[in-house]
Amino acid sequence: MKSQSSANVYFTAHLEDVEGPMVHHVLIIPDEIAEKFISGKGSVRILCRIEDTTEFPCALLPRHGRYVIIASLKLIKENNLSVGTAFNISIRPDPGNGLDLPEEFIEVLAQDEFAYKAFIALKDGEKRGYLYYIRQAKSIETRIKRSFEIAEKLKERF
């Protein structure tokens, strides 16, 4: 049964190596925690925080009979995670389903109706990919640049 609360759930997790062509590390989520969020089959969009870092959107994914969060090399490095070492984590449901738009992209779409319509027409996964690309920029200038870049790509695509 899916959690109806938006409150954070705190627990201890660990990083694990995974063999595969694309995913190399995952954060293992205890079954009793995952069960609070899952509703049927497939992944669930959540917001995650490791220790006292900034919260980030991700997915709680079913993998080989358990639930995991994919850990990018950047996430591992930024949080000094290592295989086998426990760390504190909190997760909560993502009310925006991973689709909260950065302010810079909102402004670009407000000025370009065609790009806005093209973005709205995308599947949620495609939208999340573009939004992730924008959010990863550290400076406002880079987020603005990427927002315009994506608007142009959207217009070329449709």
Distance CA 69, CA 19 (A): 15
Domains (range + CATH), the chain:
9-93 (2.40.30.100), 103-157 (no CATH)
Q: Which residue has the tokens 């205890």?
A: 30
Reading the block at residue 94, the tokens are: 């993502």
Mean pLDDT by 10 residues, the chain (158 residues): 65 89 85 88 88 90 90 90 93 89 95 95 93 91 96 91
Residues 6+ apart with CB under 8 A from 91: 8, 9, 29, 33, 37, 46, 47, 48, 49, 60, 69
Q: Are strands 86-93 and 44-50 parallel, antiparallel or unpaired?
A: antiparallel
Q: Of 99, 110, 100, 118, which is closest to residue 158 (Cα–Cα)?
A: 118
pLDDT on residue 4: 45
Helices (H) and strands (E) in the chain, counts: 6, 6
Q: Of 92, 75, 90, 82, which is closest to residue 12 (Cα–Cα)?
A: 90
pLDDT on residue 39: 80
According to DSSP, residue 101 is labeled P
pLDDT on residue 3: 42
Tell me the whole-structure pTM to 2 decimals: 0.74
pLDDT on residue 42: 72
pLDDT on residue 5: 54
pLDDT on residue 7: 83
